[in-house]
Amino acid sequence: QKEVEQNSGPLSVPEGAIASLNCTYSDRVSQSFFWYRQYSGKSPELIMSIYSNGDKEDGRFTAQLNKASQYVSLLIRDSQPSDSATYLCAVNRGGSYIPTFGRGTSLIVHP
Amino acid sequence: DGGITQSPKYLFRKEGQNVTLSCEQNLNHDAMYWYRQDPGQGLRLIYYSQIVNDFQKGDIAEGYSVSREKKESFPLTVTSAQKNPTAFYLCASSIRGATGNTIYFGEGSWLTVV
């Protein structure tokens, strides 16, 4: 089992809809979770971090963490075409402070 | 402005050549990293350094070398021993959080073997 798994997609949603991106991880002792957005040909940029179970909201983005089920998700409300990108999930390795990245989910928001 | 600067943005390497990618940060971050990304793939850790004059191998260190003589700088050399070096290289740095490091990336360097 890979340490951090994401569906590669593409996930296609209409403009204005909610996009839901999911990530599962294998290491139960992981404590820090991150979502990055990467446009084609560009470097990843941090969207959000989450450390505690539950929801964390920042503008149109909501991160959800469930440590018991070992998944973290990212919701994007009112999706815009400019949200079209690859979204990377990162989880810190148990016993280490170094995050491990998933392969990313490609999101396409169509007008 | 604070940030992470990588250079060059595009680099071409001939077979058998060593090339060095530069990474400089003025964020006063202790830790620095090098990742490699192949098309359609995730990020793979090459080397990382938590402190000056110390660094550790990541998952794919073979064929690469680094140095960390200054806090601000973490250059990556892609040696001729790296047989498939064509990729997008990302330098990153981080502050150390209570439960993990939040990583920030430079703009990346594209390396192509010709």
* Closest C-alpha to B36, from B4, B7, B69, B76: B76
Q: Do A101 and B104 touch (CB under 8 A)?
A: no
Local confidence pLDDT in tens for the 114 residues of chain B: 669 999 999 999 888 899 999 999 999 999 999 999 998 788 999 999 999 999 999 999 999 999 999 999 999 999 988 888 999 999 999 987 666 678 999 999 999 988
CA A108 to CA A86: how far, in whole Å? 9
Which of B45, B90, B107 is the closest to A98 by Cβ?
B45
Residue A69 in this model has a pLDDT that exceeds 80: yes
What are A109's two structure tokens? 């928001």
Is the minimum CB–CB distance between B85 and chain A shorter than 8 Å? no
